[in-house]
């Protein structure tokens, strides 16, 4: 696809109708959801009102690869590892035949936006959820590859982080086909671009760092040393700094191992919080104070009466004399 055509495809107006050449299904564009290295994704509406995500590919090879990944992931029993594939077709755009596929629209709030409004305390929850999904993905022989906040949304009821673009998903053992520098370990000099579980664990750590710190950090001339120092000294990353450090340096070999450490840190935090909780100081009860005050008043009255009586007796004695 040449640049002129790519520019047109990436800027289709809301209301544009896309009709599948082979399945004859009509899709109306509502808005653009995003643009990636392999294509552009639009939010579309079917005739019956159903919403879906439609991706127009920049090349036939990439659409075939991504569709195959979605098909494979959908075959995994009792596990949701990506959006459901709904349709694959071509669209006649002028003299061009553009390949596209349609998938489930995962409605949610972008990860960084959610953390910004709801707080970083959610990061431990999302880290655990994300690592569980990656563990399942790795067991099926795949690596997600291009893991970044733009590919993650937080759904509600229940609150859960989900990935929405499998364009970078690669079979283990091959070279990562799609990546973003900040989340790529090779960019930081901390590993290769070989598709293996540790590649995804590095990316998870960078996503958490970005979300907790609020922005990306610029790479220096000693990136590996810079990243390690940043993780271990940045307050926003406490108390998970050591876990992140172990992940970016490749110490965890599986998502399950890293998840266990994340949960362990959270458990220790909870125990420490309970252990340092201030104890209630016992205060004197109100009734005791009142009783004490009451006894004091009685004694004062008794002494006063005695004094008056003694004075009266002394007065009578003087009168008799």
Higher local confidence (pLDDT), 225 or 192: 192
Phi, psi of 215 (to 5 degrees): -165, 165
Same domain, 241 and 199: yes
pLDDT score at 14: 98
One domain for residues 260 and 125:
yes
What is the pLDDT at residue 307?
A: 58
Residues 133 and 187 in one domain: yes
Predicted confidence (pLDDT) at residue 1 exceeds the cutoff of 90: no
Q: Give the 3-state secondary structure of residue 18.
A: strand
Residue ranges making up the domain that contains 132: 109-270
> Which residues are tagged catalytic?
146
Contact at 8 Å (CB) between 200 and 144?
Answer: yes
Domain count for the chain, please give it. Answer: 2
State whether 253 and 205 are in the same domain: yes
Does residue 55 have a known ligand-binding role? yes
Per-chain mean pLDDT for the chain = 87
pLDDT above 90: residue 129: yes
Q: What is the CATH number of the domain that holds 241?
A: 1.10.510.10
How many CB atoms neighbour CB 164 within 10 A? 21
Q: Is the pLDDT of residue 310 over 70?
A: no
Please check whether residue 137 is in contact with residue 107, taking contact to mean a CB–CB distance below 8 angstroms. Answer: no
Q: Is the dihedral of CA 115, 70, 186, 221 positive or negative?
A: negative
Domain end (from 250, 270, 290):
270
User: Does position 293 have pLDDT exceeding 70, yes or no?
Assistant: no
Mark out the alpha helices in 122-185 (DSSP H runs).
123-139
pLDDT of 319 above 60? no
225-281 pLDDT, tens digit per residue, is: 999 899 989 988 888 999 999 999 999 999 999 999 999 998 887 666 665 544 443
From 18-27, 46-55, 291-300, the region with the lowest mean pLDDT: 291-300
> Are 131 and 49 within one domain?
no
């Amino acid at each position: 696809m040449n640049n002129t055509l790519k520019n047109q495809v990436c800027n289709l107006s809301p209301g544009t109708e896309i009709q599948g050449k082979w399945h004859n299904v009509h899709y109306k564009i509502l808005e653009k959801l995003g643009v990636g290295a392999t294509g552009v994704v639009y939010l579309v509406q079917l005739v019956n009102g159903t919403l879906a995500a439609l991706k127009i590919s920049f090349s036939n090879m990439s659409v075939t690869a991504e569709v195959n990944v979605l098909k494979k992931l959908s075959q995994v029993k009792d596990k949701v590892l990506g959006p459901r594939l709904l349709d694959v077709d071509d669209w006649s755009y002028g003299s061009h035949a553009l390949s596209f596929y349609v998938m489930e629209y995962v409605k949610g709030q972008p990860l960084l936006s959610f953390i910004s409004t709801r707080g970083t305390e959610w990061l431990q929850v999302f880290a655990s959820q994300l690592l569980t999904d990656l563990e399942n993905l790795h067991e099926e022989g795949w690596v997600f590859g291009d893991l970044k906040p733009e590919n993650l949304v937080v759904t509600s009821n229940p609150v859960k982080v989900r990935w929405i673009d499998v364009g970078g998903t690669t079979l283990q053992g091959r070279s990562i086909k799609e990546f973003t520098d900040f989340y790529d370990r090779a960019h930081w000099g901390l590993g290769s671009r070989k598709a293996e579980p540790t590649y995804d664990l590095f990316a998870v750590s960078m996503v958490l760092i970005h979300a907790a710190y609020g922005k990306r950090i610029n790479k220096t001339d000693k990136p590996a040393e810079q990243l390690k120092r940043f993780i271990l000294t940045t307050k926003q990353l406490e108390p998970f700094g050591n876990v992140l450090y172990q992940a970016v340096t490749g110490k965890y070999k599986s998502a399950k191992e890293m998840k266990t450490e994340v949960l362990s840190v959270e458990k220790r935090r909870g125990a420490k919080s309970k252990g340092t909780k201030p104890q209630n100081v016992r205060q004197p009860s109100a009734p005791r104070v009142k009783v004490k005050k009451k006894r004091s008043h009685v004694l004062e009255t008794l002494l006063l009466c005695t004094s008056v009586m003694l004075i009266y007796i002394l007065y009578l004695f003087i009168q008799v004399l």
